[in-house]
């Protein structure tokens, strides 16, 4: 098998016989990787094309060498303990790295270990999570921490299968934790990784299919660097995040895999990776009420199940209502409307539904008893979803 590691060694042996230190200057690293690419291309041009597993195996040397010199400095990489890796991976799901950094640091400052997470009150947990979205992820973190306290002596399990028994931990997160924190050779395949692998192989398989993801996981188990599993997975993450990017043209000139990438060779970026079309999201019209009485604002707690469960929100009505309909509704609720004006429109996109919101700022003599009256300066103490950010800013006098 022609692995990247084997090819890199051959390229180095054509030099002065000394293996360069991976911590040396970036130029030496780049020259060494370029030599590896050249050897790979010669092997294929001589009538010996790499098969699927050989091509994936060939990623190891160039990719790991590149990662040594190009890995971003991220707070969860500074001390990759199992707890820190687990928290960061859950936060990073469907959230940008730059957005996660301050959340991660605040979260770890207040909840530094499994015990603290298991014992935190839910409302405080949701406040710490506010803005990251997908609040069930936070609830599952706390549930899993409780199980770790009762069944694993407060430790994050180090076995791939054991981790997947815990709430909120699937194959990707389990693979990331055991490889990065425990050094075990398990793959961690997410959307970024699927894009990189599909392009390396010029695969036109639908990456939304679970069977395709499982096949790539199986392939990586056979080909990934067993003694550097954490660095292997993180190098794939890194290439997918900063080189083989999801939007726009890939930066192939900066990619350590360009010499073996069949998509680069065939200029196929516009068609790979392939994703089957998703069903259109359901659109829901909603009317949001910013009810004021003196210095008090009305909020309410959402149900314990369903979308945005247990979070707080501004009162609302289904559908797009007129100012007259809103006034009638509040009078029936026992409030006398003093003034009503438009609070503008806003949209928020969830995974499977899209809210189109129309807001009204309503001054009343008293907040209806069915709602919680909160002093304006206290409102940010309550976990309010990002869906209402436009209206939160309006209440706080922000532009």
In terms of CATH architecture, what is 282-395?
A: Alpha-Beta Complex (3.90)
User: 4-13 and 60-70 are packed helices; what angle lies between their axes, rounded to 10 degrees?
Assistant: 80
Q: For residues 73 and 312, give the distance between their C-alpha atoms in angstroms, rounded to a whole number.
A: 35
Residue 202 has pLDDT above 50, yes or no: yes
Q: CA of 84: how far to CAs of 91, 160, 185, 314, 368, in Å?
A: 11, 17, 19, 34, 44
Q: For residues 36 and 330, give the distance between their C-alpha atoms in angstroms, rounded to a whole number.
A: 72
pLDDT band at 41 (very low <50, low <70, confident <90, very high): very low
Q: CA of 174: how far to CAs of 188, 226, 294, in Å?
A: 8, 16, 51
Among 89, 186, 238, 292, the active-site one is 89
**Residue 156 backbone dihedrals phi, psi, to 5 degrees:** -80, 120
pLDDT band at 377 (very low <50, low <70, confident <90, very high): confident
360 forms bridges with which residues in the sheet? Answer: 289, 342
Q: From the centroid of its chain, how far is CA 245?
A: 14
pLDDT band at 45 (very low <50, low <70, confident <90, very high): low
Residue 42 has pLDDT above 80, yes or no: no
Percent of the chain with pLDDT over 90: 63
Q: For residues 192 and 339, give the distance between their C-alpha atoms in angstroms, rounded to a whole number.
A: 51
Burial state string for 290-324 with b = 16 or more CB within 10 A and e = fewer than 16: bbbbeebbbbeeeeeeebbebbbbbbbbeeebeee
pLDDT of residue 399: 54
pLDDT of residue 133: 81
pLDDT of residue 211: 95
Q: For residues 369 and 310, give the distance between their C-alpha atoms in angstroms, rounded to a whole number.
A: 19
CB 68, CB 141: distance < 8 Å: no
Looking at per-residue pLDDT, the higher value among 125 and 246 belongs to 125
Can you give the residue ranges of every domain in the chain?
282-395
The three-point CA angle 208-212-214 to 5° equals: 115
pLDDT of residue 11: 31
Average pLDDT over residues 159-184: 96
pLDDT of residue 254: 93
Q: Which two tokens stand for residue 20?
A: 């360069």
pLDDT of residue 310: 85
pLDDT of residue 178: 97
Residue 9 has pLDDT above 60, yes or no: no
> What 3-state class would DSSP assign to 136?
helix
Q: Which two tokens stand for residue 27?
A: 């130029």
pLDDT of residue 94: 79
DSSP of 185-245: ------HHHHHHHHHHHT--SBTTSHHHHHHHHHHHHHHS-GGGHHHHHHHHHHHHHHTS-
**Catalytic: 123?**
no
The H-assigned helical ranges of the chain are: 4-13, 26-45, 52-57, 60-70, 75-78, 82-92, 97-110, 114-119, 122-129, 136-151, 160-163, 171-180, 191-201, 210-223, 229-242, 262-266, 323-332, 389-395
Question: HEC states along 348-366?
Answer: EECCCEEEEEEEEEEEECC
pLDDT of residue 225: 92
Mean pLDDT of the chain: 86
pLDDT band at 248 (very low <50, low <70, confident <90, very high): confident
Average pLDDT over residues 156-168: 96
pLDDT of residue 352: 85
Looking at per-residue pLDDT, the higher value among 38 and 336 belongs to 336
Before 273, cis peptide (omega within 30)? yes
Residue 13 has pLDDT above 80, yes or no: no
Q: For residues 87 and 77, give the distance between their C-alpha atoms in angstroms, rounded to a whole number.
A: 12
What is this structure's pTM?
A: 0.74
């Amino acid at each position: 098998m022609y692995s990247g590691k084997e090819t890199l060694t051959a390229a180095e042996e054509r030099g002065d016989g000394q293996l360069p230190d991976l911590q040396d200057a970036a130029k030496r690293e780049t020259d060494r990787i370029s030599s590896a690419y050249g050897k790979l291309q010669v092997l294929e041009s001589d009538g010996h094309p790499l098969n699927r597993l050989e091509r994936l195996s060939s990623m190891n040397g160039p990719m790991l060498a590149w990662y040594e010199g190009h890995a971003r400095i991220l707070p969860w990489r500074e001390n990759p303990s199992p707890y820190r890796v687990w928290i960061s991976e859950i936060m990073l799901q469907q959230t940008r790295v730059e957005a996660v950094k301050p959340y991660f640091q605040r979260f770890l400052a207040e909840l530094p270990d499994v015990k603290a997470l298991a014992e935190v009150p839910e409302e405080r947990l949701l406040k710490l999570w506010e803005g990251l979205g997908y609040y069930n992820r936070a609830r599952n973190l706390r549930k899993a921490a409780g199980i770790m306290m009762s069944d694993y002596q407060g430790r994050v399990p180090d076995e791939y299968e054991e981790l997947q028994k815990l709430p909120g931990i699937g194959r990707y997160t389990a693979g990331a934790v055991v490889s990065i924190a425990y050094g075990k050779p398990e793959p961690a395949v997410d959307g970024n990784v699927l894009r990189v692998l599909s392009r390396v192989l010029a695969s036109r398989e639908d990456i939304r299919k679970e069977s395709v993801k499982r096949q790539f996981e199986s392939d990586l188990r056979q080909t990934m660097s067993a003694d550097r599993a954490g660095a292997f997975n993180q190098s794939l993450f890194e290439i997918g995040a900063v080189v083989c990017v999801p939007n726009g043209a890939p930066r192939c000139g900066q990619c350590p895999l360009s010499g073996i990438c069949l998509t680069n060779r065939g200029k196929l970026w516009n068609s790979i990776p392939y994703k089957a079309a998703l069903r259109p999201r359901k659109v829901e019209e909603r009317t949001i009420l910013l009810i004021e009485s003196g210095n008090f604002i009305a909020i309410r707690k959402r149900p314990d199940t369903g979308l945005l469960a247990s979070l707080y929100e501004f009162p609302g009505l289904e559908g797009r209502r007129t100012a007259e309909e809103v006034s009638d509704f509040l009078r029936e609720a026992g409030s006398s409307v003093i003034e009503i004006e438009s609070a503008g429109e806003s949209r928020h996109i969830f995974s499977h539904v899209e809210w189109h919101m129309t807001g009204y700022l309503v001054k009343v003599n008293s907040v209806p008893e069915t709602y919680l009256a909160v002093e304006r300066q206290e409102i940010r103490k309550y976990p309010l979803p990002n869906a209402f950010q436009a209206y939160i800013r309006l209440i706080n006098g922000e532009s």
